[in-house]
Each structure stands twice: as structure tokens, then as C-alpha cells.
Structure 1
């Protein structure tokens, strides 16, 4: 008597294989890829409207340089939002770190790399301290991230103003401005953008190919489940917020190098711009989903819009309208997808929109 595989199992296995989405379909459904297509369309439109000014390497170089500091902040914010958290303090931490660094370098005197190196370390260390404080209060004191980082936003900015008396510090070593701020490598590639690229690449590798990144996704997907499988959630959250603080400190020295001043009043919208870029790039506010690549793409949409509007003579205020519309759309798309995944519904986003979310 021969043994035969039950037909039900054969059918089940065949069905699973047949329904497995292809790489191309998965790529087309990825929000980061869809946002990339939108970015490409925006670039093509402005290139057609102003080919002699917008579609030039010098202009693209300016866009890349302007987005570099936000890219550094975006890496840390991506980790935090993936854990289902939020950090409203990064702009203020950037300012505070730059202020402390500038005061330290001014006290030491000198224009060489020795003083500049100490300033860089002080800026990053200041960011680390704020990140540790945020992470400890969130993980151990169980205070909601929104409240903790809103409080540290005010504290960091207030302390920066107390230290400076509300007056920007302009005593920045020339070596920082000449090299990091406006220096180039490979001909015309800004050094500040190369630094940002290194941070982005390392952040992407750690997020997608290491245990630290896996734990980040696990905590954001289900904190309770992560605890049950042995993830030390509290320690991981502290690490993630410390990482964000360190990157805010690094961004502080980059901003100090680029603008040659602490620019205390110039970072009021930085935190919101970074959060918007991360969410537009496909990182879910509900946690557990996100990529560094998507964040970078999300950062370039407002940067390209602002640059293109200025060149084509459109009021740059329209940038805020356009970015706000894209942000709301991105959150709506993410919410619909999560609802459909939870219910096992494969209904298209368009049908969900016109049907009001009804099945059928």
C-alpha cells in the first residue's frame, strides 16, 4: 500500500506559493518606492519649467547640501518612530549642543583642529546626555515620549538662551567653516554631504542587517511580544533615544560649521520637518515599519519643492501647503494599509477611499 500526500496539503502549499507576491509587486507597493516616484516626477516638472537654472549640477548640489543636516537627524528619528516613539527635542538639542560647543571652543581659543576636535566631541556628548535623559524618562519612568521630548525641547532651548543671553555666538574656528561647512571633495561634492551620507549608510546597515535593528522593529511591532522573547526593551529604548541625541549633537556641530553661528532662532521648525520627512518616507507612526532609504527620499521632497518654487517664481510658502498635503496622504495610506493587513483585506487604496473603507 503506497503512501500518498493528502490532496488538501498539496492544494494548500500550491496556494501559498501562487499567492506569494513577486519582488516587482512588493517593490511597487512599498511606500518608499512610491514616494521616490513622486520625487522623480517633481524633479522632472521643475527641470522642464526651468532647464537652465533648476536642472544644473550646481543647483542639485545646493539641494543636497541643504538636506544634509536634516538627513543626519532623520536617521535617529527613523529609529525612534519605528519603536512607536517620537522625539520633538532634536531641534533644541541641536541648538544646545552647538551653543555648548561654541562656548567651549571660544574659551579654549585658537583656530586649529585641536580646538575644533574638542568642540566636535563636546557637541556630540551634549546630545548624548539629552538622549540619555529622554530615554531614561521614557523607558524607566514610563512617561509618554511626546511629553518627555516636549519638555526637553523647552529645557534645551531655554538653557541655550540662558548660556548665550539670547545672542548668537559667532566665534567659530575658521577650520570648521572652511572644511566641514564649505569644503568639497571629489571636485564639487560638499564635505558636509559626505558626512551625512556616511551616517545614512551606517544607519541603514545597522537598522537592516544587525540585531540592534531587528530589536528596534520588534519593540515597535509589539513591546510585550519583544519582552516575551527576551529583548531588554527598556535598555533598547534608552539606546535608541541616546542614538538620536548623539546624532542631534553631530548635527549641531555641522550647523555651526555651515552657518558660522549658533542660529538659536533658526531651528524652530527642524523637529517637525524631520518628523514629516520620516513619515512621508514610509515610516509608520504606529511603529514597526520604516526604512532609512524612505527617510532620505522624504527629506528631499520639501527640499526640492522649496528650491523649485524659488527658481520658478512661485511663493515658497506653497511648499508648506504641498508638504502638508503629502504628509496627510502618507499617514492615510499607512493607516489604510495597516487596517487592511489586520483584516486580511486586499482591497485597493482607491476602492477603500471611494467606498469609505467598506468591504466588497
Structure 2
């Protein structure tokens, strides 16, 4: 039996802690919170289906095609990698605004390592992957330690990391995009397919499946939900909360690093200016999918649905010929609306 299921005997410490779905066992609101969780995910599926239907009716020849479906999936997969990490971060009631910059920084470091080694063999690609992952882990470790040991709010910590990682990426790249990505990386991970499905999509789905399993079936996932629901109760249950929070930020950083490596393969350049709004896309996907911004409720499967909505919306806007600036307006408005509706519904269900 885990520490979360054996709370200390003192009155204050014996308050029940959240389970993996974010509800406190035995509380009157546990069933309602689970229902809110499921309802949000159901609405996300309906919204996704509605968008697909609308664009299919308006532009059937361009939107309804296997090529366009693959384009949407590849675009969504880039955001899904960082959104999975963001799901864990938001579930502990944190935030990570640095993922886009960490992605770029990791890509720059990865490419510099591969160029320094030279060649185009598997060992070069593995070295680049390791460099990208380690770069992401380093930034995640910084975010976690500053938040827990330094006592700085996650918002300020990751905002600082966002600026610092961006600046360092530009310094390492000499102020302009780097090229020279190994051809093997581009041909396999960038453009390769397995049974018609791009490898980038398969990588993202594998990460999402692993994240969903960890969130719902492991002690790590239970701790993550419990900390977001009632951090003090988890501390009194003899769980090292600070270490767990650091691990969650390290996970987010590692997945941002992996996304940076995938971005190199896909675009064959470091795309220094292409990821400023990635954290907005990730947060939007996570919240739309049913994860609560106040913590305690997290769903990776919901995030998979949530990450598809802005990708379908963006693709539909492009097909309709709308100005690209309207895409950002729509995404920003959608984030505000979703959070507003989510918070009101949760407050109403808890009161009743």
C-alpha cells in the first residue's frame, strides 16, 4: 500500500489525498469531480468532431484527404510531445512557459553536437538525441529546483527560463538559424513513414501512451494528482513533495528536448523564431482536454484530443484563406473561454 493510502494518524494529516483522477477518496465531491473530468473530455471530442465536420463541408476537396489528415497529425504531434509534459506540470498546479524556448535551445545544442562529430551514421544521430534530451533535462532541473528550493513561483521561474533559453539559443547559433541536419535524420524521422503513418506521429503517440499509463496506473501519477489536489496533505503523508515536483519539471524539459530533436528532423533547421507560441498551444491543448489549471485533475488521453483541436482549427483557417494572424486570435480567445467555462463548472459542481 502506498504512502498516499496510509495517511498519518494526526487529525490534520489524516485528510484524504487525491487519487489519480484528482478526487479525494471518501469526500462528497469526489464523484462530481470525476464527472466534471469526463464531461470536459467529452465536450472536447464533440468540439473536435464539429470542427472536422464544418471544414469538411466548407472545403471537402482540400480538407478531406489522406494528405491533409497526415499534415494535421504531423503538426499536432509536435505539440503533443510538449503537451504531455505540460499535463503533468499543470496537474501539480504548476505551469511551464519555457517549453518553446527549451525546444529551440535543445535543437541548437543537438545540431551543434552532430555537426561537431560529423558524418551521418546512427551514432551521430544518437549523440544528437542524447544532447537534446540532456539539454531539456537540464532546463527542467533548473525550473524544478528554483521553484522548490528557491521558493519562486512557477510562473516567474519558467518565464525567466523562457527568456534565458531563448537568449542562449541565439548565442549558440550565432543569431541565425543553423543548417546541416544529417540527411539520414531527415529521411527517417523527418519524412519517413511506417504503413503510411509518419514516424513523428508514431513517436508522439508512443509518448502519449506512456504518459497516459504513468498518469493513471503508477505511483508517480497518483503523487502528481495528489500534490495538485492537496500538497500539504501529501507532505504529511511522508512523501517528498519537492523531489516529485522537480521530477515533473524534468519530465517536461526532457519532452521539450525530444520535441526539439523531432523539429530538427522535420524542418532541417533550428527554427529559432518558430516556437514563441508553443507554450500557448500546449496549455490550450491540456486545458481543453480536461486537465484542471488549479491542479489535481490530469488526463493525457484528453490532451491527445485537445492538441488536435488547435491543429485542425489552424489547418482549416489556412484552407479557408484567412489571415494567419486570426489563428492566434482564435487560439488566445479559445484558451480564455475554455478556462472560464472550466472554472465556473467546477465551482458549481463543488457547491452542489
Q: TM-score, normalised by structure 1?
A: 0.86
Structure 1 portions without partners, runs of 5+: 1-19, 346-360
Q: Which residue of 2 is the match for residue 326 of structure 1?
A: 334
Equivalences for residues 1-360 of structure 1 within 5 A: 26=35, 30-186=39-195, 188-343=196-351, 345=352
Structure 2 portions without partners, runs of 5+: 1-29
CA distance in 2, matches of 1:283, 1:28: 7
TM-superposed CA distance for 1:309, in Å, is 1.7
CA distance in 1, matches of 2:349, 2:36: 17
TM-superposed CA distance for 1:319, in Å, is 2.6
Higher Rg = 1
SS of 1:207's equivalent in the other structure is helix
Q: In structure 2, do the counterparts of structure 1 residues 335 and 27 end up closer, same or farther at CA, with 3 Å as the change threshold? A: closer
TM-superposed CA distance for 1:26, in Å, is 4.1
Maintained 8 Å contact 2:92/2:225: yes
* 1:294-330 Cα distance to aligned partner (Å, 9 max, x none): 2121111111111112212333433333333332221
Q: TM-score, normalised by structure 2?
A: 0.88
Higher relative contact order (CA 8 A, sep 6+): 2
SS of 1:314's equivalent in the other structure is coil
Q: Which residue of 1 is the match for residue 21 of structure 2?
A: none
Q: In structure 2, do the counterparts of structure 1 residues 338 and 315 end up closer, same or farther at CA, with 3 Å as the change threshold? A: same
TM-superposed CA distance for 1:136, in Å, is 0.9
Maintained 8 Å contact 1:282/1:330: no
Q: CA RMSD in A?
A: 2.0
Maintained 8 Å contact 1:274/1:299: yes
Q: In structure 2, do the counterparts of structure 1 residues 167 and 319 end up closer, same or farther at CA, with 3 Å as the change threshold? A: closer
SS of 2:64's equivalent in the other structure is coil
* 1:208-242 Cα distance to aligned partner (Å, 9 max, x none): 11110000000000110111122210010000000
Maintained 8 Å contact 2:113/2:128: yes
Q: Which residue of 2 is the match for residue 11 of structure 1?
A: none
